Structure 1
Amino acid sequence: MRAGIVVVGLAMFVAPVVARADEGTLVIVGGGLDWSNAEVFSALLEARPADAPAIAIIPAATQGIAGSTRAMTAALVRHGARPEDVAVVRLALADDPATREVDESTWRGNAHDPAEIAKVARAGAIWFVGGDQQNITAVLREADGRDTPMAAAIRRRLAEGAVVGGTSAGGMVMGADMIMEGQSLGPPLVAGGGDPLVLGAGLGFLERVLIHVHFGERGHLGLLAAAVTDPGRPVRLGLGIDEDTALVVKPGSGTARVVGTGYVTLLDARAAQRKVGRRTAITGLSPGLAAAGDSIDLATWQVTPASARRAVTTRAPEEAPLLPGGGMAYGDQRLAAVAGEALL
C-alpha cells in the first residue's frame, strides 16, 4: 500500500463515558444482525421493564420500510415477543416503493404527531432499523438541533428504564458524534483521495463517544481513527462494533458487555496527535478490544475478559521465526502479505 495510518501507543482507557440515562439499557448492534442471534435478541427483550412489554420499531433510516419492519417483527416474535406488543412508528423521510398503497414520505413530520409519540411513550423497547443514519437525525432533530417531541420521549423512556437499541445506522446514532460520510481507504489514508470524511452529531444517548459499525468486516479502523482525531470535533473516544455483535450498555451500573459473534474495538484518541501529508500518521492512539462475554468499565474503559477465558502462553517472536507461505495449505504470517491478500 502506498499510504497508511501509523498507530503508536497502548495506554489504558481512563476517561469516563456517560450516558444520559440513569436506569435504562442501550443495545447497540454493529449491523449484519443474524435473525437467529439469541444473545442479542435476549439482551433487547429481557431489558424491557416488567410493566412495559411494548416494542416500538422506528424505520426512519431505511427506504425499505415494509421489508425491514416485517423482518424485525418476525425475529422479535421468534425470540419470545408477542405480535400484539410490536408497533411500527410511522416516521420516515422517503417513500417505500414496495408499498404502492402508502406514501411513507408523508410521515416525515410525525415526530410531532401525538399518536406516533404515544407508541414510543408506552414502549419498554425502542428499536432503530438500519439504513442512513442522517435520516434518523433529520426527523428526530429540529432545524436548530433541539430534540423533537418524539426524540424527547425516547430520551425520557430511556431514563425511566426502557431499552433503546438499533442496528447499523440505528446503532451509529446512539453516540454523541457519528460518521455521516466517508470511506475506509479515502481521506483517512491519502490526502485528497476518495469521498471526504464528514462528521455530525448523533442523538447522544452515549455521551463523548463516536460509534461506528460493520467495523471488522469493512476494515474501518483507519476511518474511526481519523474520525476521533478530527480537529473540528470534540469527541475523542471511539467504539467500532462488528457485525452480528452488540454492545449492551447499562449506564446505571457503569458497565457494558459484548454479546454476539464478533468484537468491539475501543479507541482513545485523547492523547493522540495527527499529522496529515501524503499519508496520515496518528501517534498516541490507545486501542482496546473486547469479545463476547467481556465487560467494559465505563468509568475507566478497562476491559475485563469473560470468566471462561484463560491466559495462554506463546513463544516470543524471536523464538518463532516466520515461515514464508501462502495459498490454501499454509497462510502467510506477515502482516503486509495478509493485509494485501485481504484487500485483493
Structure 2
Amino acid sequence: MLQVAVRVVVHALLALALLASPSLAAAQAAQPKGSLVIIGGALRGDNAPVWERMVQLAGGKGARIAVFASASANPAKTGQLLVNRFNQYGARAFFVPVAVTLSGTDYQAAADDAALADAVRSAGGAYFAGGDQGRITRALRREDGSNTRMLDALWDMYRRGGVIAGSSAGAAIMSSTMFGHPKPVLATLKLGLDDGKEIAPGLGFIGEDVFIDQHLLVRGRFARMVPAMLKKGYKLGLGIDENTAMVVGPNREVEVIGYRGALLVDLSKAVPQDGPLNVSNVRLSYLDNGDRFNLVTHAFTPSADKLDNKIDPAKPYFREPLFSADILGNTTVVDLMARLIDSDQSEAIGLSLDSPNGVQPDLGFEFKLTRTGDSVGYVSLLTEQYSVYNMRLDIRPIVVPRPLYQYRAADAAR
C-alpha cells in the first residue's frame, strides 16, 4: 500500500510540473511516436535486415507502405519497382503519384489531394526513393514554403506511430537542413558552402538538432559535413554509408543495421577558425552494424558481439606509424580510426590533396586523428570489425608546392 501511495504522489507531482511548464508538456506531446529508417543509398534488394525492419515498423506483414519516388527521374518505373520489393517482404505497398517529373500529372494538385493525403495518413509507413532531394521538397511544399496536405499527412502518420524511411535523397530530407547541389568535397572544404543553393531546407523529421548526410564512407563525405554543420549551427551530425541504415526510434535511440556503418560528428567542443576549413577538437565516432547511440543521453552501446571485447590500450595490435595520403577515399577514415584505437600510436595523419587542375591546386588539408582519454574501441568476436567512439579530429589547411619535385637520394643525404 505504501508503494502504491508513493507512486500516486510521484505521478501527481509530475503532472503538476507539466502543468507548470507548458513548453515541456507541449514538447512531450509533439514528440513523434514513430520511427525513422535513414538509408545511405544503394540499398540492395537482398539486404533483408533493412527491408524487414521497415515492414516490421510499419505494422508487420500486410502493412500498408506509401512509396514516394518523388526524387527519381523516372518516378513511375522506380515507384513500381519499390512497391514490388516491399511486397516481396510482406507489405502491401502503394505508389503515391506526387513527383515533379511524373509525366501526365499535376504534382501540385496531387500533393493537395485530400483523398490521396488520407491514404498516406492512414498507412503504417512511407518510403522515399533516391535521386534529387530538391525534387522531394519541391513536390511536398507549396511555392510559399507552407506544407501541402500530403506533407501534413506524413507528419500525422509519423506522430501517430508510423515509420518514415528513405534512401539517399530520401535520407537527406530527414534533417531540417540538407545538401542541395554542392561542390565536390575538397572544393567545399576550400570555398565553403552557399546557403540556399548548396545547402537548402529539408523536411526535418529527425528534429532541428541533428544533421544528416548519406553515401558517406564510399564518397568520403564525412569531411563536407563539418563545414555544413558549422555554417548552420549544428552540434551533432550523422552520416550513413551505402546499403546501411540508421533506425531512429521514438526514444531517440539510433541503431545501425546493414552492410557498413555510420559516423557521428560532434562539434559541441569544436573550435573553428576563418578561411578554408580549419577546425580543432571535432569528436568523431564510428558506429558499426548493431551499435546504438542515444541522441538524448549521448550514450554509446556496442553490438552484442562486441560488448565483451573492449580494446585494451595496454595490448595494442598495430605497432607502426599510421598515415593515409587519401583520407577521403572509400572507408579510409574508418579504417584509420580502427587501426589507431588498437595501436601503440597516439595519433594518425590523413591528407587530402587536389589535382593540378583543381580549384586552388596548391591548397590541401591535413586530418589529424588523436586517441584521447575518452576514446573507446570495441572489436567483434565474429567479424573482427571495429567500433570506435570519441576520437578527436583536427582539420587544417596545408600548402602543397607546385610542381611536385622528384625525390632524390642525394637531397635526403644532406
Q: Same fold (TM over 0.5)?
A: yes
Over 3 Å counting, the alpha-carbon distance change for 1:244 and 1:182 in structure 2 is same
**Paired residues for 1:213-224 under 5 Å:** 213-224=214-225
Does 2:76 match 1:77?
A: no
The counterpart of 1:298, out of the listed 292, 295, 300, is 295
Secondary structure, counterpart of 2:278 in structure 1: strand
The alpha-carbon deviation at position 307 of structure 1 amounts to: 1.8
Amino acid at match of 1:32: A
**Paired residues for 1:202-217 under 5 Å:** 202-207=202-207, 208-217=209-218
Q: Sequence identity of aligned pairs in percent?
A: 28
Question: 2:49·2:258 contact (CA, 8 Å) conserved in 1?
Answer: yes
Unaligned runs of 5+ in 2: 1-27, 326-334, 340-346, 354-414
Name the structure, 1 or 2, with higher relative contact order (CA <8 Å, separation 6+): 1
Amino acid at match of 1:273: V
- Measured against aligned partners, the alpha-carbon deviations of 1:163-204 in whole angstroms (never above 9, x if no partner) come to 110100001111121111213434432237999972222111
TM normalised by structure 1 equals 0.79
Does 2:139 match 1:124?
A: no
Find the aligned partners of 2:177 and 2:322 in 1 and give their Cα distance: 43
Secondary structure, counterpart of 2:106 in structure 1: helix
- Measured against aligned partners, the alpha-carbon deviations of 1:72-119 in whole angstroms (never above 9, x if no partner) come to 1222122222xxx22100101114xxxxxxx25532431101232122
Unaligned runs of 5+ in 1: 1-17, 96-102
**Paired residues for 1:1-344 under 5 Å:** 21-49=31-59, 53-81=63-91, 85-95=92-102, 103-104=103-104, 106-191=106-191, 198-207=198-207, 208-230=209-231, 233-251=232-250, 253-277=251-275, 279-309=276-306, 310-313=309-312, 320-322=319-321
Secondary structure, counterpart of 1:117 in structure 2: helix
Question: 2:255·2:293 contact (CA, 8 Å) conserved in 1?
Answer: yes
- Measured against aligned partners, the alpha-carbon deviations of 1:44-78 in whole angstroms (never above 9, x if no partner) come to 00012369821110111111213311221222122
What is the aligned-residue RMSD (CA, Å)?
3.4
Find the aligned partners of 1:242 and 1:163 in 2 and give their Cα distance: 20
Over 3 Å counting, the alpha-carbon distance change for 1:236 and 1:179 in structure 2 is farther
- Measured against aligned partners, the alpha-carbon deviations of 1:116-145 in whole angstroms (never above 9, x if no partner) come to 212212210111111111111112122332
Question: 1:62·1:130 contact (CA, 8 Å) conserved in 2?
Answer: yes
Over 3 Å counting, the alpha-carbon distance change for 1:187 and 1:194 in structure 2 is farther
Segment of structure 1 superposing worse, 153-162 or 188-197: 188-197
Secondary structure, counterpart of 1:34 in structure 2: coil
Amino acid at match of 2:246: L
Find the aligned partners of 1:216 and 1:86 in 2 and give their Cα distance: 31
Find the aligned partners of 1:73 and 1:112 in 2 and give their Cα distance: 22
Over 3 Å counting, the alpha-carbon distance change for 1:44 and 1:50 in structure 2 is closer
TM normalised by structure 2 equals 0.66
Find the aligned partners of 2:320 and 2:270 in 1 and give their Cα distance: 32
Structure 1 or 2, whichever has the larger Rg, is: 2
Amino acid at match of 2:120: V
Find the aligned partners of 2:279 and 2:323 in 1 and give their Cα distance: 30
Secondary structure, counterpart of 2:155 in structure 1: helix
Find the aligned partners of 1:186 and 1:146 in 2 and give their Cα distance: 35
